[in-house]
Amino acid sequence: MPIKKCKPTTPGRRFRSVATYSELTHKPGTNKPVDPYKPLLEPLKKSGGRNNKGRVTSRFRGGGNKRMYRVIDFKRNKVDVPGKVLTIEYDPNRTCRISLVEYTDGEKRYILTPIGVREGDAVISSDTADIRPGNCLPLRSIPIGTTIHNIELYPGRGGQLVRSAGVGAQLMAKEGKYAQVRLPSGETRLILLTCQATIGQVGNPEHENISLGKAGATRWKGRKGHVRGVAMTPRDHPHGGGEAQSPIGRRKGPATPWGKPALGAKTRHNKSTDKFILRRRGQK
């Protein structure tokens, strides 16, 4: 997917770059992308960061463009039924592109589009499928060293790992009933061999190179700007105060406005699954 830099006709466009969307399926004879498949659309309600009592529990959220949710087939449980990629479409809810697949029994489903999958390509979910991008297999049937994505953590629950644009995990080894998978973060984790994964690297790898260029582009995504703690007063934030703007400099480390640890503090507290992590992310 090529990226186009905007001409600096305004200050907001000076550093802005956008996707060309040339890889999407367009309507015949036009430069407009095809419409999404309506039976797989669902309404998407926004919370504005508020809970069921109307109180803000996630700050800096609100506004943004309206969007419909595309129902994605993360489970890939259409086993041994061949499918054909009809269209490649834009999904406003995720960074990668999605593909509309029509199976031989007539059912249509959306899947994540890996690199190398084009319109008209055949995909299948099967224990004996070829090792080609877009095909889904259990980890026990995938050769060691293969790049995979949309990986299940629990058999039958659907893919939960490695789903954003441009990422891919690597199957490192198989031992007993577990496979060792190196995730994009650098973490190496044990996953059951009965869990499924899709072959290939997730498409749209140039997404990370897009520059929003202005604050308004962030607002379109439903995210509001926020004030830094160091710019506040001591009564408003633990980072505030000092002569001019000072470094955080707390003995207890960075904190939220309510004194809880922040900015890189570890939040994982699940001892029951610690044994499945062989190597933490960020470790050398």
Burial 228-258 (b: 16+ CB within 10 A, else e): ebbebeeeebbbbeeeeeeeeeeeeebbeee
Supply angle C-alpha 51, 52, 56, rounded to 5: 25
Task: Write out pLDDT tens, residues 46-67.
Answer: 999 999 999 999 999 999 999 9
Answer for the pair 33, 26: CB distance below 8 angstroms, yes or no.
yes
Q: What is the pTM of this model?
A: 0.92
Task: Write out pLDDT tens, residues 219-265.
Answer: 999 999 999 999 999 999 999 999 888 899 888 999 999 999 999 89
Answer for the pair 149, 174: CB distance below 8 angstroms, yes or no.
no
Answer for the pair 183, 197: CB distance below 8 angstroms, yes or no.
no
**What residues have CB less than 8 Å from 152, skipping those under 6 apart?**
158, 159, 160, 161, 191, 195, 196, 197
CATH for 228-275 (4.10.950.10, 3.30.420.40, 1.20.1050.10, 3.90.226.10): 4.10.950.10
Q: Locate tokens 């508020």: which residue?
A: 50
Answer for the pair 65, 90: CB distance below 8 angstroms, yes or no.
no
* Integer Cα distance of 142 and 86 in angstroms: 26
Report the chain's terminal Cα–Cα distance, integer Å.
33
Predicted local distance difference test score (pLDDT) of residue 249: 87
Domain with CATH 2.30.30.30 in the chain: 24-46+66-203
CATH of domain 24-46+66-203: 2.30.30.30
User: Sheet harboring 169-175: ordered strands across?
Assistant: 136-138, 196-199, 147-149, 169-175, 178-182, 188-192, 277-279
Strands 41-43 and 68-70 turn out to be antiparallel
Task: Write out pLDDT tens, residues 162-198.
Answer: 999 999 999 999 999 999 999 999 999 999 999 999 9
* Integer Cα distance of 226 and 233 in angstroms: 15
Local confidence band at 1 (pLDDT 50, 70, 90 cut-offs):
low
* Per-residue tokens: 62: 């609100």
Domain with CATH 4.10.950.10 in the chain: 228-275
